[in-house]
């Protein structure tokens, strides 16, 4: 789970590199990524399959997983374009709060004080990194924060539904089948003519990211989620914004405020508190 989250932190670099060859619509980026992830999962079905027959209710869960993931990705990529990497990933990681609240209700996981405390500490770290009180925050930052928070709602839903389905569907099955439902929805969001204005180099970066932080990390996430509580998993994914902010500073030249460093340290403490016995 920690490896998957750290890998997702590389998305800002991959997306900005692709966009450097020409402007790309977030829905188009999301569609290309989902096509590559779904296609790469198909051959894995030959070996990574569960024999258990799914019920109609579980297939409805797969359909919702596709819808939720489509909206999660398109909102998240939109946040990256609207504002800084720090604000986008920080608001996206309201997710652990939502999961920590929902898991005891929807998954019957035992509510643990330490889990709630770790989620609260992690959220405090996100607030410190976001600095909502700063005078340099503009309309674009507010829009990016709203998109990031919207993606967090659907990301939390994905964690819950993935956990519910992980005993019936393998990692490859979850990736492939949910992609079949996500692709038509994402295609509806793509502007007409988007395919005719794409540089081949941009496509190469998008597809490459789809196979690394997309497909491989998606499998690691599913395999990890099968072994640990959903509330723990979502808190561990707080490593993603930490990695993303560092990557944005080092590779993209985005400034890092002292509050960002302090908030990152708080996030690490929350992550350690989650996995410590």
What are 118-164's pLDDT values in tens digits?
778 877 887 787 777 777 767 788 899 899 999 999 999 998 998 88
CB 124, CB 190: distance < 8 Å: no
Q: What is the mean pLDDT of residues 1-8?
A: 89
108: number of Cβ within 10 Å: 8
**Residue pLDDT, tens place only, 191-248:** 887 787 788 898 899 888 888 888 888 888 888 888 888 777 877 887 888 888 888 8
Rounded mean pLDDT of the chain? Answer: 85
d(CA 97, CA 139): 25
Q: Which of 97, 222, 239 is nearest to 156 (CA)?
A: 97
- 151 within 8 A of 93, measured Cβ to Cβ: no
pLDDT value at 271 more than 70:
no
Binning pLDDT at 50, 70 and 90, where does residue 111 land? Answer: low
């Amino acid at each position: 789970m920690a490896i998957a989250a750290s890998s997702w932190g590389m998305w800002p670099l991959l997306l900005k590199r692709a966009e450097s060859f020409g402007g790309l619509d977030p829905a188009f980026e999301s569609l290309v990524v989902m096509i590559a992830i779904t296609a790469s999962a198909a051959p894995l079905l030959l070996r990574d399959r569960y024999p258990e027959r799914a019920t109609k209710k579980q297939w409805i869960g797969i359909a919702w997983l596709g819808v939720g993931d489509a909206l999660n990705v398109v909102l998240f990529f939109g946040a990256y374009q609207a504002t800084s990497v720090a604000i986008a990933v920080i608001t996206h990681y309201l997710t652990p709060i939502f999961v920590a609240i929902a898991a005891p209700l929807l998954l019957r996981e035992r509510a643990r004080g330490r889990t709630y405390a770790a989620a609260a500490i992690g959220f405090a770290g996100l607030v410190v990194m976001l600095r909502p009180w700063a005078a340099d925050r503009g309309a674009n930052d507010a829009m990016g924060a709203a998109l990031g928070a919207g993606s967090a709602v659907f990301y939390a839903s994905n964690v819950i539904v993935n956990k519910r389905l992980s005993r019936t569907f393998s990692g490859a099955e979850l990736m492939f089948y949910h992609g079949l439902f996500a692709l038509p929805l994402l295609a509806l969001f793509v502007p007409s003519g988007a395919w005719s204005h794409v540089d081949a180099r941009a496509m190469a970066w998008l597809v490459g990211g789809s196979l690394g932080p997309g497909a491989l990390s998606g499998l690691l996430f599913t395999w990890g989620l099968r072994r640990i509580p959903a509330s723990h998993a979502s808190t561990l994914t707080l490593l993603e914004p930490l990695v993303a902010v560092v990557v944005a500073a080092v590779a993209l030249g985005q400034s890092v405020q002292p509050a960002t460093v302090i908030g990152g340290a708080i996030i690490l403490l929350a992550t350690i508190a989650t996995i410590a016995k």
